[in-house]
């Protein structure tokens, strides 16, 4: 550290400083020094994001090997130098970049020899300092910036995380809460009697909607604000299944009585959207379009939020048995769905596709037997009861880098319909059920 420089922990950084560091990171990895090595780009991004979150425990050689290179947690680092070799290459490329950088960057990122913890050097006189990461703390992986943790106890543990993904500034606080789902005695949230049932999280991340069953076996729609201690039943929603939210969180769509319906969370007389003879799962787009999927031998259907006749928006390709688990992508103009080739518990041909509302051929995003959830910059999906986050370029409909493991042991339906017990809001709330 040069004379006159100050040291500051990353957990004390201002929002402006964090933005400056991330801007510097993007400039580095998009430069000629790094553009030829995606592994070096990913390595530098990983260590910088962990450092900004003060996740120093994740910046050890073994942890990087597991997270980035897929090594087993007990791999022998003395005989496997993959992390050390990549770190050496990153240091060389950083030296190359800063040796030719004109003008002098505001923030200089360095990876000191023998360490995987980066340092951030400011060149301006107003911020002439070196920032070093703060002490180790227990926290979420780099793709989670946890600002709240809520455990909802419903027999199985449901964990809700407030997330701020890699591309966003780190939140300033961490709050942990434990709550109950707040259902009255005799009312239960079953996840085994019907494979369609799941919980819907409002786009604003404030409220849960779900179908719960009373002692008589009758299901109804319930809502549970995360800020409240109790759930509330919505009247006149008997038989409700598969709730889904309007983009403004002002309505809940659901299927009941061979119809697709909508109702306000505050309660009112439900309105019929359209006829849907078979159980249907829906998605509500920002431009007044509702898409819904049925289980067997059916494409995705489209209908106006104000009602009317439903029309197909996809076509089953040769060999496909059904399109299901539809969801809008963040731009509201594209959507994705799970295409199954068989209605058995194992379907090696199942894939997730994206398609434009305006038509055109579908784009295959990934092979998966389970539904996925699209959020800004990421595709969340479950595989072997583990939840992953795949960074995405949604404009190009392509994956960026390798998926990151978010959570282990996520509950899944034993049925063939590709249900995994997790959901997420567009503003960064993730909810999952442990197996």
Q: Which domains does the chain have, with CATH numbers?
A: 6-132 (no CATH), 148-433 (2.120.10.30)
Between 426 and 287, the more confident residue is 287
For residue 107, the SS3 value is strand
pLDDT at 19: 76
Between 385 and 418, the more confident residue is 385
pLDDT at 147: 26
Give, in degrees to the nearest 5, the angle at Cα 194 between 189 and 196.
90
- d(CA 328, CA 263) in angstroms, rounded, equals 20
- d(CA 238, CA 221) in angstroms, rounded, equals 7
pLDDT at 133: 54
Between 166 and 302, the more confident residue is 302
Counting residues of the chain whose pLDDT is more than 90, the rounded percentage is: 32
Q: With a cut of 80, say whether residue 281 has pLDDT above it.
A: yes
CA 81 from centroid of its chain's CA atoms:
32
Sheet holding 259-263, edge to edge: 241-245, 252-256, 259-263, 271-275
Tell the residue number behind the tokens 């910059």, with chain if given. Answer: 377
Tell the residue number behind the tokens 């719960």, with chain if given. Answer: 212
Q: With a cut of 80, say whether residue 389 has pLDDT above it.
A: yes
Over the stretch 58-104, which tens digit does the pLDDT of each residue have?
Answer: 899 999 999 999 898 888 888 889 999 999 999 999 999 988 876 77
pLDDT at 302: 96
pLDDT at 131: 54
Q: For residues 180 and 204, is the Cβ–Cβ distance under 8 A?
A: no
What stretches of 80-192 adopt beta strand conformation (E)?
Answer: 107-110, 119-122, 129-132, 148-154, 156-162, 175-180
Q: With a cut of 70, say whether residue 182 has pLDDT above it.
A: no
Q: With a cut of 50, say whether residue 52 has pLDDT above it.
A: yes
Rounded average pLDDT over 364-371: 88
314: CB partners within 8 A, 6+ apart: 299, 300, 323, 337, 355, 362
Tell the residue number behind the tokens 């392509």, with chain if given. Answer: 398
Q: Which of 35-49, 215-229, 403-417 has the highest mean predicted lDDT (pLDDT)? A: 35-49
Q: With a cut of 70, say whether residue 358 has pLDDT above it.
A: yes
Write down the pTM of the prediction.
Answer: 0.61
pLDDT at 178: 42
pLDDT at 148: 28
pLDDT at 44: 94
- d(CA 170, CA 10) in angstroms, rounded, equals 10
Rounded average pLDDT over 148-162: 34
Q: For residues 205 and 163, is the Cβ–Cβ distance under 8 A?
A: no
For residue 358, the SS3 value is coil
As given in the structure block, the two tokens for residue 37 are 């090595």
pLDDT at 193: 44
Residue 413's pLDDT band (cuts 50, 70, 90): low
Q: With a cut of 50, say whether residue 3 has pLDDT above it.
A: no
């Amino acid at each position: 550290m040069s004379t006159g420089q100050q040291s500051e922990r990353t957990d004390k950084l201002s929002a402006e400083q964090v933005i400056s560091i991330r801007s510097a990171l993007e400039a580095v990895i998009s430069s000629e020094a790094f553009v030829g090595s995606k592994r070096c780009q990913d390595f530098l991004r990983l260590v910088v994001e962990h450092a900004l979150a003060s996740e120093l425990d994740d910046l050890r050689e073994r942890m990087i090997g597991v997270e980035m290179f897929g090594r087993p947690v007990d791999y022998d680092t003395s005989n496997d130098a993959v992390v050390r070799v990549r770190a050496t290459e990153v240091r060389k490329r950083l030296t190359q970049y800063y040796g030719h950088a004109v003008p002098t960057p505001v923030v200089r990122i360095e990876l000191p020899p023998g360490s995987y913890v980066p340092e951030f050097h400011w060149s301006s006189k107003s911020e002439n300092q070196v920032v070093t990461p703060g002490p180790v703390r227990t926290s979420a992986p780099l793709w989670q910036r946890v600002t709240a943790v809520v455990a909802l106890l419903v027999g199985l543990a449901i964990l809700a995380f407030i997330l701020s993904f890699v591309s966003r500034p780190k939140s300033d606080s961490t709050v942990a809460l434990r709550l109950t789902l707040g259902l009255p005695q005799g009312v239960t949230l079953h996840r085994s009697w019907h494979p369609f049932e799941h919980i819907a999280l409002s786009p604003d991340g404030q409220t849960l909607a779900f179908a719960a069953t009373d002692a008589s076996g009758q299901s109804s729609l319930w809502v549970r604000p995360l800020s409240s201690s109790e759930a509330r039943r919505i009247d006149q929603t008997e038989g409700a299944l598969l709730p889904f939210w309007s983009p403004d969180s002002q309505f809940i769509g659901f299927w009941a009585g061979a119809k697709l319906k909508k109702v306000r969370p505050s309660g009112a007389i439900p309105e019929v959207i359209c006829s849907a003879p078979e159980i249907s799962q829906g998605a509500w787009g920002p431009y007044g379009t509702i898409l819904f999927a049925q289980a067997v031998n059916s494409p995705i259907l489209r209908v106006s939020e104000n009602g009317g006749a439903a029309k197909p928006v996809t076509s089953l390709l040769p060999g496909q048995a059904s399109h299901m688990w539809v969801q809008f992508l963040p731009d509201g103009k594209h959507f994705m769905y799970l295409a199954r080739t068989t209605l058995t518990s194992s379907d090696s041909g199942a894939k997730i596709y994206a398609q434009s509302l305006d038509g055109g051929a579908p784009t295959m995003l990934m092979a998966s037997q389970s539904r996925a959830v699209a959020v800004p910059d990421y595709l969340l999906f479950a595989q072997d009861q583990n939840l992953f986050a795949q960074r995405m370029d949604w404009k190009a409909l392509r994956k960026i880098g390798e998926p990151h493991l978010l959570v282990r042991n996520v509950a899944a339906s034993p049925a063939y319909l590709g249900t995994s017990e997790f959901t997420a809001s567009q503003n960064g709330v993730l909810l999952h059920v442990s197996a």
